[in-house]
Amino acid sequence: MIEKVYDPKKVEDKIYQFWLKTGFFNPDKLPGKRKKKFSIVLPPPNITGSLHMGHALNATIQDILIRQKRMQGFKTLWIPGTDHAGIATQVKVEKELKKEGKTRIELGREKFLERVWDWVKKYGGIILEQFKKLGCSLDWSRNRFTMDEKYCEAVNYAFWHYYKKGLIYKGKRLINWCKRCESSLSDLEVEYKKEKGNLWYIKYPIKSQKSKIKSQNYIVVATTRPETMLGDTAVAVNPKDKRYKDFVGKIAILPLVNREIPIIADQRVDIEFGTGAVKVTPAHDFLDYEISLRHKLPQIQVIDEEGKMINVPKEFEGLDVFEARRKVVERLEKEGFLVKVEPYELSLPICYRCEEILEVLPSEQWFLKIGRLAKEAIKAVKSGKVKFVPKRFEKIYFDWLGSTRDWCISRQIWWGHKIPLKGEEAVLDTWFSSALWPFATLGWPKKTKDLKNFYPTDVLVTGRDIINLWVARMVFSSIEFLKKEPFKYVFINPTVLTKEGKRMSKSLGTGIDPMDLIEKYGADATRFGLIWQVKAGQDLRFDESVIQMGKKFCNKIWNATRYTLIQIPNSKFQIPKEMRISRKLTKAQREILKALKKTIKTVNKNLKDFEFGKGAENLYHFFWHQFCDKYIEESKKEIKEGNPFAKKVLLYVLLKSLILLHPFIPFITEEIYQKLPLKNKKTSIMIETWPT
């Protein structure tokens, strides 16, 4: 007999262990021929991470797809794994060391890396256990880590491939530099914080005595960072700016330094900013660098990697930037070059890891030439070989690929894939290795059976924030190395926000831990409630009451099952693949079978269209309102009257509902399936036949 109340705590772990024992997460152990393949790679979470709502939603969507395809007879593979998360992990272990009063520098590289590996062994698997709690049918026998031995081989192979093709080069380039992390950061790792600052207006005298400009023998520039003027190599105005028509081509004298610098016209200068005339500091500003290349200006580095002034007049040499700023302003004022100071709201670039204010510096780095690769990646989406769902996210992808600079792939940290060149101390950008994820996890560069069977993968489910960092790079890496696209669809899952529409963040206290929800309501209810809230490409404003609704729904299913089982004690039924809607059936029976047929059709379409919320809703309404409210009520009468089909219809509709619901709420559907009195029962509902 079946218990009165459904208790997910008694069921979920037990069922997960049962699934592991069946081996059905592993495609090689699935029964039947299964000629068609379906594969997904789990976006590898950082080993430093723990499951957040974004992961929970992302993984539930993938599990729905994989479970449905498995029941549809596909040979299904969903690969798990974790990312070594270079800077994130290094910072985490450094914090641990700090508590012991040590630094990584004291420890030395080798000892430090041992500590990181210890950390990885201890904590790296936590997030994977959480995916199990959620019910994810990942093939754990194929679990990968971006720093495991074979993965490292793949990364080295990729590096050498690019290197030999001349696509990797060392160059002085501007980078975002965090002096605290002693590391360069990609543009995408830079965050911004608002702060009150100033706009200083500075006079730059004009050199020529015979100037036609009678009223004014100087030009005023505005800047938020006066100390960088020591590295100026030009003054620039917009060619359309009539105020400065007569200035272009003249020479200005850089105050405090007495360097002669040209006044140039460049269309990238913002007429609205300050006076419309700006100082050009090519070594410490991306736009100025670009301008300097166009106008062949020298680049003079005046700030070093410790944030100290270099290549400047003696009095400023060695000062840190803030001291230098104070002193430069003081001198400018004293010598009459300072015109005025205005308050100005700054948008300061900060390190996404440690929030240190970043400097832009020229530095020796390794770069990957992006030009041709980006073009290939654009083509893959333009041609429809890779499709974004929702389609509008293509724009982010195209915009970035169309404008991106060469990829700075080196990082001055210790934890990561060391660049395999003699004497090289830097490691590769974490995203360099994750860009290989869809194929390196299948055994590439070896020509493995898995690669042959499961590549390209079918769907990538990910968030919009890493379309550039990750998706675009996987696409061009795959085309470069395997001459094909890594996946057919990129489903961009909604961002999970708070009910008020704010970002969920642990540190802001606005985060919700999915593990708490699972503890409170069970994994099925959590999954169902989350998926219910996925609506046509919109962000998800998380509402916990919907999870409660998911729990009520599970109870409803349980009660309907109890009722059904009570009606049919001691008998086993042969349930047909599809029950004919014949005239012998009662009106109520015909109606519920018709409604089921319609629901099957709709839900199949919903899942095909990635409309997961609608799928959940349709199943809910069918089960609750048509099956429970209507047919179950009718069946009571029918059974009393001895109708010969009533029990079979009951069991048939219940079974088909469970199969349809299984991808959404896998635990309870399996638990019930195991209790059904079926003659032709499979080992697990996971391999039941999906209705069409």
Nearer residue to Zn ion within complex by CB, 357 or 504:
357
Cβ at position 184, least distance to Zn ion in Å = 10
Report how far residue 282's alpha carbon sits from residue 215's, in angstroms, rounded to the nearest whole number.
30
Report how far residue 192's alpha carbon sits from residue 601's, in angstroms, rounded to the nearest whole number.
48
Q: What would the 3-class secondary structure string for 286-351 be?
A: HHHHHHHHHHCCCCCCCECCCCEECCCCHHHCCCEHHHHHHHHHHHHHHCCCEEEEEEEEEEEEEE
Report how far residue 385's alpha carbon sits from residue 379's, in angstroms, rounded to the nearest whole number.
9
Outline where 31-108 has alpha helix (H). Answer: 53-71, 86-99, 104-107
Cβ at position 197, least distance to Zn ion in Å = 21
Nearer residue to Zn ion within complex by CB, 180 or 464:
180
Tokens found for residue 371: 């030009």
Determine if residue 388 is left, alpha or beta; phi over 0 gives left, psi from -120 to 50 gives alpha, anything else beta.
beta
Nearer residue to Zn ion within complex by CB, 173 or 353:
353
Cβ at position 88, least distance to Zn ion in Å = 11
Specify burial of residue 428 (Cβ count, 10 A radius: 0-12, 13-18, 19+). buried
Nearer residue to Zn ion within complex by CB, 181 or 672:
181
In this structure, how many other beta carbons lie within 10 angstroms of the beta carbon of residue 249? Answer: 10
Residue tagged 């199969």 (tokens):
659
| Residue 44, C-beta contacts closer than 8 angstroms, at least 6 positions apart | 81, 82, 83, 144, 146, 434, 437
Cα 160 to Cα 101, 419, 426, 475, 481, distances in angstroms: 40, 10, 16, 19, 12
Cβ at position 353, least distance to Zn ion in Å = 5
Nearer residue to Zn ion within complex by CB, 161 or 180:
180
Q: Is residue 456 reached through a cis peptide bond, with omega within 30 degrees of 0 on the bond before it?
A: yes
Cβ at position 183, least distance to Zn ion in Å = 7
| Residue 501, C-beta contacts closer than 8 angstroms, at least 6 positions apart | 539, 541
Cα 610 to Cα 58, 72, 493, 538, 607, distances in angstroms: 12, 16, 10, 13, 5
Cβ at position 175, least distance to Zn ion in Å = 13
Cβ at position 561, least distance to Zn ion in Å = 55
| Residue 678, C-beta contacts closer than 8 angstroms, at least 6 positions apart | 572, 573, 574, 575, 651, 655
Nearer residue to Zn ion within complex by CB, 94 or 266:
94
The residues binding Zn ion (CB under 5 A) are: 178, 180-181, 351, 353-354, 356
CA 297 to chain CA centroid, nearest Å: 39
Q: Name the residue type at position 577.
A: K
Cβ at position 307, least distance to Zn ion in Å = 12
CA 332 to chain CA centroid, nearest Å: 47
Nearer residue to Zn ion within complex by CB, 353 or 473:
353
CA 275 to chain CA centroid, nearest Å: 41
The residues that bridge with 408 in the sheet, in sequence order, are 367
Nearer residue to Zn ion within complex by CB, 136 or 181:
181
Residue showing the smallest CB distance to Zn ion in the complex:
351
Cβ at position 426, least distance to Zn ion in Å = 16
Cβ at position 177, least distance to Zn ion in Å = 9
Cβ at position 259, least distance to Zn ion in Å = 33
Specify burial of residue 356 (Cβ count, 10 A radius: 0-12, 13-18, 19+). middle
Q: How many CA atoms lie within 13 A of 424 on its CB side?
A: 15
Cβ at position 179, least distance to Zn ion in Å = 8
Nearer residue to Zn ion within complex by CB, 88 or 253:
88
Cβ at position 91, least distance to Zn ion in Å = 8
CA 299 to chain CA centroid, nearest Å: 36
- Residue 586 near residue 566, CB atoms below 8 Å: no
Cβ at position 303, least distance to Zn ion in Å = 16
Nearer residue to Zn ion within complex by CB, 178 or 230:
178
Give, as one character, the DSSP assignment of residue 503: B
Tokens found for residue 451: 């690669």
Cβ at position 178, least distance to Zn ion in Å = 3
Biggest CA–CA distance in the chain, Å, is 114
Report how far residue 472's alpha carbon sits from residue 669's, in angstroms, rounded to the nearest whole number.
38
Cα 257 to Cα 241, 298, 314, distances in angstroms: 27, 15, 10
Nearer residue to Zn ion within complex by CB, 175 or 199:
175
Residue tagged 């104070």 (tokens):
326
Nearer residue to Zn ion within complex by CB, 199 or 469:
469
Cβ at position 413, least distance to Zn ion in Å = 10
Nearer residue to Zn ion within complex by CB, 75 or 308:
308
Nearer residue to Zn ion within complex by CB, 356 or 617:
356
Report how far residue 389's alpha carbon sits from residue 609's, in angstroms, rounded to the nearest whole number.
9
Nearer residue to Zn ion within complex by CB, 178 or 254:
178
Cβ at position 358, least distance to Zn ion in Å = 8
Nearer residue to Zn ion within complex by CB, 356 or 376:
356
Nearer residue to Zn ion within complex by CB, 180 or 682:
180
